């Protein structure tokens, strides 16, 4: 059975715009073919290490091939555990509202913890960034008060969706698909139309998701 890692970046659960969309996608996915094991990672319930002090020293020691002391090794093992959970998944869904034109801060913390040289990527002047992870599909489900799609007039303000796609492609070796429920702040007919389109896209995508 394949595993789908659902990364929840909203604290509002069923009151959010994104989690009900994610649940709709999961239900559609489970009814469209072989069952998936759903691994739900709520970033608001997790305790991620602060990337400072001994753990930051451990990062550079690991990168430079130096031995780690006990405290450094303990902190670095937390980094490995969180990255391994991502790596074990066959596919990933990122459930992400846009906050202040960017990603929620808990997601940025998670990214900065698991995105480590020598563990998930390498870099050289000749090749640039190279992911060390196996390829997988990632679906980004987002919501925002305004839309950022081409023609919206807000393309230059799209710091969140562009960033998360670049991270997933460059460092995590993912083929990325995106569904945006936007705008959420507009006249009722526009909001309902955008929501219906997002749900229809999720249903369609679930039929061939792998």
134-148, 152-166, 172-186: least confident range: 152-166
19-33, 62-76, 123-137, 149-163: least confident range: 149-163
pLDDT of residue 155: 80
pLDDT of residue 145: 85
Burial degree of 18 (CB within 10 A; 0-12, 13-18, 19+) = buried
pLDDT confidence bin for 89, thresholds 50/70/90:
very high
Cβ atoms of 21 and 200 within 8 Å: the answer is: no
CATH architecture of the domain covering 2-207? 3-Layer(aba) Sandwich (3.40)
The strand pair at 136-143 and 174-181 is best described as parallel
Q: Is the pLDDT of residue 148 over 90?
A: no
Over residues 110-128, the mean pLDDT reads 94
Q: Is the pLDDT of residue 206 over 80?
A: yes
pLDDT of residue 130: 96
Q: Is the pLDDT of residue 72 over 80?
A: yes
Q: Is the pLDDT of residue 158 over 90?
A: no
Cβ atoms of 22 and 6 within 8 Å: the answer is: yes
**Quick one: what percent of the chain has pLDDT higher than 90?**
78
pLDDT confidence bin for 205, thresholds 50/70/90:
very high
Q: Is the pLDDT of residue 150 over 80?
A: no
Over residues 132-139, the mean pLDDT reads 98
Q: Is the pLDDT of residue 62 over 90?
A: no
pLDDT of residue 71: 87
pLDDT confidence bin for 149, thresholds 50/70/90:
confident
Sorted by sequence, the CB contacts under 8 Å of residue 53 that are 6+ apart come out as none
Over residues 77-82, the mean pLDDT reads 95
């Amino acid at each position: 059975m394949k595993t789908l890692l659902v990364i929840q970046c909203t604290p509002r659960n069923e009151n959010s715009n994104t989690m009900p969309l994610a649940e709709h996608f999961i239900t559609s996915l489970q009814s469209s073919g072989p069952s998936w094991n759903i691994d739900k990672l709520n970033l608001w319930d997790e305790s991620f290490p602060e990337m400072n002090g001994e753990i930051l020293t451990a990062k550079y020691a690991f990168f430079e091939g130096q031995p780690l002391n006990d405290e450094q090794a303990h902190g670095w093992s937390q980094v490995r555990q969180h990255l391994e959970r991502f790596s074990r998944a066959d596919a990933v869904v990122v459930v992400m509202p846009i906050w202040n034109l960017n990603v929620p801060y808990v997601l940025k913390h998670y990214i900065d913890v698991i995105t480590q040289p020598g563990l998930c990527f390498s870099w050289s002047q000749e090749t640039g960034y190279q992911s060390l992870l196996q390829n997988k599909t990632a679906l980004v489900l987002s919501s925002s008060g305004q839309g950022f799609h081409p023609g919206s007039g807000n393309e230059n303000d799209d710091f969140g969706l562009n960033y998360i796609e670049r991270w997933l492609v460059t460092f995590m070796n993912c083929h990325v698909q995106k569904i945006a429920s936007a705008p959420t702040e507009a006249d009722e007919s526009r909001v309902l139309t955008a929501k219906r389109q997002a749900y229809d896209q999720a249903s369609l995508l679930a039929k061939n998701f792998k």
